[in-house]
Amino acid sequence: MTDTAQILAIAGAAEGSWYTVGGVTDLRYKPSFANSNSGMSFGTFQFDVATNTDAQRGLKNVLSQAVGAKLVDQATSDRIYAGASMRNAKVHLKPDDLKAVTTQLAGAYAKGIIDTLDLNRAATVGPWIDGMIAEAAATWATKKVAAAPILTPGKPDCLTLFAYLLASLNRYPANEDTCQTWLNGGKVTTANGPAGGTQLKAPPTLDQMHAFFQSLKIWDGTQGDYSNLRARLDPTLAAL
C-alpha cells in the first residue's frame, strides 16, 4: 500500500498546494481560488467549499470557533461562508472578509482541522488508487500477460502511475471508469485522444501513460495544464 507521506507529497505537488521542489510552496492554510468554476479551496488536496461537503463542514467549524472567540462577528462569518461557497468565490468575498478568513485559516485551530481533512482524504484515496492498479494487474494476469513494473507495487513506475491517477481523479473523480477500463485493456475514447479511441495490448509504458492522461479534458486547460503538472510532480516523485 502507498504510504501516507507519499500520498500527501503527491497530492501537494499535483494540486500545487504543498511541495518543496525548487523552493518551498505551502498553500495548505491559505484560501485558494483556482478558477471561475471553483469556490474557495484549502488544504493539501485543495478541498473546494463550493462542491466538497468536508470542506464546507471544516470551514463552518473554523468560523464557528472564530465567532466564539470573538475574532469575527456572526455577520462576517455568514458572509465569508456564503462567498466561499460560490463559484468564482474570490469575486464574491469582500476584501475585509478575505483578509479575515486568511487570518483564521492560518490559526492553530484551523490548521488542526485542515490536517485532519488531509489525513482522512489520504486514507481514502490511497486504497482507492491502489485498488485500481491491483485490479488492472489481475486482469492482465488472466490474459497471460507477464507482470509489468508499472503495475507492481513498490516499483518506481507503479508509484508514477499511482501519482498521475491521483492527480487526475482528485480533480475529476468521474474519470474513474475511463481510467480503469483503459488500464484493464479495454477500448476508451477520451476528449483529446484519437477519434477512434485507444486500447492497450499490454500494460502501458510510461510514455503511453502520459499520452493517455494528457488526453483527458481536465488537462487541456479547463481545470489544469499537463505540462505544469509534470513540472511539479515528476521532481517530487524523483525525490520520494
Domain segments of the chain as ranges:
30-106, 125-239
Confidence of residue 48 (pLDDT cuts 50, 70, 90): very high
Please, what is the average pLDDT of the chain? 95
Tell me if the pTM is above 0.85. yes
Asked whether the predicted pLDDT for residue 173 surpasses 90, the reply is yes
Q: What is the 3-state secondary structure (H, E, C) of the chain?
A: CCCHHHHHHHHHHHHCCEECCCCCEECCCCCECCCCCCCCEECCCCEECCCCHHHHHHHHHHHHHHHHCCCCCHHHHHHHHHHHCCCCHHHHCCHHHHHHHHHHHCCHHHHHHHHHHHHHHHHHHHHHHHHHHHHHHHHHHHCCCCCCHHHCCCCHHHHHHHHHHHHHHHHCHHHHHHHHHHHCCCCECCCCCCCCCECCCCCCCHHHHHHHHHCCHHHECCCCEHHHHHHHHHHHHHHC
User: Widest CA span of the chain, in angstroms?
Assistant: 66
| Residue bearing cell 468565490 | 89
What pLDDT, on the 0 to 100 scale, is given for residue 36? 76
Confidence of residue 21 (pLDDT cuts 50, 70, 90): confident
